[in-house]
Amino acid sequence: MSPLGGIRVLDLTNVLAGPYCSYQLMLLGADVVKVEVPGQGDLARQLGPDPELNRSRLGASFLAQNAGKKSVELDLKSDAGRRSFEEMVGQADVLLENFRAGVLARLGYGWERLRELNPRLVYCAISGFGQTGPMSQAPAYDQVVQGLSGMMSVTGTPETAPLRVGFPVCDTIGGLTAALHICAALAGRDTTGEGVFLDVSMLESAISAMGWTVSNYLVSGVEPEPMGDQNATAAPSGTFRAADGPLNIAANRQEQFERLCALVGRPDLLEDPRFAEREARKEHREELNDLLNAALAERTALAWEETLVAAGIPAARIVTVPQALRLEQLEHRGFITELPFPDGSARVLRVSGGGVLHDGRPLRPSQSPPLLGQHTGEPIWKEAS
């Protein structure tokens, strides 16, 4: 049985943070039903690089995060829609939404009302800043949260920062945080028999995920600065230049540095007081990087990757997204799943997995993303096994 087999998730979310959360729950076996506004649906249905797909409410942004789910159209402002919604809440294990704080409560479905309808319900609300506090009503998108978290201030070089991270990282982190706490709440419910209200803040989730960047300031008072492609904790550790392109090397430990110097033909660097030990190397990072780049220019990035990895030194080429998706490692682990295209065309839809093997097997969606309202009027929940 799948880890969340039999768990019913009522998903009112849009775009990314919420749908990414419920996609992870679906991969774990939960039965996920999207509740969508009639005629409009999830805004992500209209987002993506293909205008034709956007017009047909099958935008790439939607297809990426909604395989394996069902879709019902429901107007929560109508009497019939509210009756249907309340019936579904009574049968659900999880209610997930990412409206602005307080929107669902203003529709008459705050936590107290939801708990009356289903005392065992796990209600998870994802928002930019949380349901309480002076910023709770402020609108939030990923880039806004990136800026307010401090993330952009440490991304890029001193000359180019602040920079946005190249994908919606705060939405993704918010979704993962929500999925983690939903699973914990479901486990806790087995003991208490009671549901819980989870108030997920994307801002707090993002700052938490920044780890050492934050703790260096909280613990040691050291204000983080942008360092581009270099690692503040060690040297040589960052991006270097091989003959045909960039290469990441992380020789963070003394023995790794010693092996690196031997392999690039510069054992003399070990005798240089500027590079003899960790703190000195960090202080003289630029001089060390220049010397290593000159040596690395003799071979291709792939050749260096193979040589360094064989010697136990973390190293790899820097590739594009298409190149990453073609890595044999992903194919070996079954990370990509192929599904029929939802509109019945001959196209093949490829979607990503969750990054974890369960007893040696990847968790995959078994169904294509739903058309808008595809399951309206049908029995929405799987029969209990």
> Three-state SS string across the chain, please?
CCCCCCCEEEECCCCCHHHHHHHHHHHCCCEEEEEECCCCCCHHHHCCCCHHHHHCCCCHHHHHHCCCCEEEECCCCCHHHHHHHHHHHHHCCEEEECCCCCHHHHCCCCHHHHHHHCCCCEEEEEECCCCCCCCCCCCCCHHHHHHHHCCHHHCCCCCCCCCCCCCCHHHHHHHHHHHHHHHHHHHHHHHHCCCEEEEEEHHHHHHHHCCHHHHHHHHHCCCCCCCCCECCCCCCEEEEECCCCEEEEECCCHHHHHHHHHHCCCHHHHHCCCCCCHHHHHHCHHHHHHHHHHHHCCCCHHHHHHHHHHCCCCEEECCCHHHHHCCHHHHHHCCEEEEECCCCCCCEEEEECCCCEECCEECCCCCCCCCCCCCCCCCCCCCCC
CATH 3.30.1540.10 in the chain, residue ranges = 237-241+246-317
- 199, 193, 23: which is closest to 124 by C-alpha? 199
8-209+331-362: CATH number: 3.40.50.10540
- The pLDDT assigned to 383 comes to 72
- The pLDDT assigned to 17 comes to 96
- The pLDDT assigned to 385 comes to 46
Query: Which residues are known catalytic residues?
Result: 171
- The pLDDT assigned to 349 comes to 95
- The pLDDT assigned to 384 comes to 57
Rounded to two decimals, the pTM is 0.93
pLDDT along the chain (385 residues), means of 10: 91 96 97 96 95 94 96 94 96 96 93 96 97 94 96 95 96 97 96 96 97 94 93 94 96 95 95 94 96 96 97 96 96 96 93 94 94 91 68
Q: In angstroms, rounded to a whole number, what is the distance separating the alpha carbons of residues 384 and 6?
A: 6
CATH 3.40.50.10540 in the chain, residue ranges = 8-209+331-362
Q: In angstroms, rounded to a whole number, what is the distance separating the alpha carbons of residues 25 and 30?
A: 6
| Yes or no: domain 237-241+246-317 corresponds to CATH 1.20.1250.20 | no
